[in-house]
Amino acid sequence: QKEVEQNSGPLSVPEGAIASLNCTYSDRGSQSFFWYRQYSGKSPELIMFIYSNGDKEDGRFTAQLNKASQYVSLLIRDSQPSDSATYLCAVNIPIGGTSYGKLTFGQGTILTVHP
Amino acid sequence: DTGVSQDPRHKITKRGQNVTFRCDPISEHNRLYWYRQTLGQGPEFLTYFQNEAQLEKSRLLSDRFSAERPKGSFSTLEIQRTEQGDSAMYLCASSFSANYGYTFGSGTRLTVV
C-alpha cells in the first residue's frame, strides 16, 4: 500500500460546479495534511493545510480531514477554468522516532474545468 | 526576492557527465528539502537538511547523488555519472517545520541525453 494515495483522474467538471478531490494515507502517526496545486511545467504551490478533524474553509476551497478513516479531501466550489491543474495531497509523516517529519506526496489528480 | 531560488532552471547533459544544482532557501527557514518529480508522479523525497546537518537521505538516492548545505545556507545537489533515468524535475523546498508545509522553488529540469 502506498503511503499516500489519491483518487485516480483525470477529473473533469464544468465551470461553476464543485470539484471533489480525495486522498487516503497509511500512517496513523501523520500529523498535518496539505493540498498543493501544480500547473503544468511549474512547481507545487501550497493552497490549503489542515491539522484537526473536520472542515477548514478558505474562500472557494474546503479541506476535510477524518483521521479515524485516514482520509483527507479538498472541495473546490464554483470551479473556474483557472483551477485546471494537478492537485497534490501531501502528508507530514514523522521520521522514525524523531520529532520532525517530511512531506510524502500522492501521485496527484489532474483537474480540468471546462467552460 | 524572498522565495526559494534554484539554479539552473534547465540542464541538458550527456550521459556520464556530472551535474550540480544549487538551491537558495528562504533566509528564515532552517529546514531544506530536495525532491525529484517525474512526469505524472508526485514529488519523491530525496534528502533533508536541518541547518547544515543532513538528517535523512532516501533509499532512492544512489551513491551517485550527494547533497551539501555548508553553513546552513544554500544547498547543492550533485549527480555523478548521470544516467537517462536521472531525467526529472529536481525540486528544492524550505520551511520552518514540515508541520507548516513547504515553499518550493521553481525547480531544475534535468534532461540526460
- pLDDT digits over A81-109, tens only? 999 999 999 998 877 666 567 899 999 99
Q: How far apart are CA B85 and CA B100, in angstroms?
A: 32
- Backbone φ and ψ of A60, nearest 5°: -85, -5
Q: Is the peptide bond before A115 cis (omega within 30 degrees of 0)?
A: no
Residue A83 contacts by C-beta under 8 Å, 6 or more apart in sequence?
A19, A37, A76, A111, A113
Contact B104 A43 (CB under 8 A): yes
C-alpha count within 13 angstroms, C-beta hemisphere, residue A101: 19
So what's the pLDDT on residue A96? 67
Is residue A31's pLDDT more than 90?
no
So what's the pLDDT on residue B15? 98
Contact B99 A31 (CB under 8 A): yes
So what's the pLDDT on residue B96? 83
Q: How far apart are CA A1 and CA B61, in angstroms?
A: 21
Q: How far apart are CA A114 and CA A100, in angstroms?
A: 41
Q: How far apart are CA A20 and CA A87, in angstroms?
A: 11
Nearest to A103 among B40, B56, B102 (CB): B102
Nearest to B56 among A90, A102, A107 (CB): A102
Contact A106 B44 (CB under 8 A): no
Q: Is residue B80 within 8 Å of residue B11, measured between CB atoms?
A: no
Give the alpha-carbon dihedral of A76, A82, A85, A89, to 10 degrees: -30
Q: Is residue A35 within 8 Å of residue A44, measured between CB atoms?
A: no
- Average pLDDT on A16-40 reads 94
Nearest C-alpha neighbor of B17 from the set B75, B86, B94: B86
- pLDDT digits over B53-83, tens only? 998 889 878 899 999 999 889 999 999 999 9
* Residues of chain A contacting B, Cβ within 8 Å: 4, 31-32, 34, 42-46, 49, 51, 88, 90, 92, 95, 98, 100-108
Contact A106 B42 (CB under 8 A): yes
- Backbone φ and ψ of B86, nearest 5°: -80, -10
- pLDDT digits over B2-61, tens only? 799 999 999 999 999 999 999 999 998 999 999 999 999 999 999 999 999 998 889 878
Identify the residue whose cell numbers are 480540468: A112
- Backbone φ and ψ of B59, nearest 5°: -65, -15
Query: What is the distance in angstroms between the Cα of A22 and the nearest Cα belonging to chain B?
Result: 15
Nearest C-alpha neighbor of A44 from the set A85, A98, A94: A85
Calculate the average pLDDT of chain A: 92
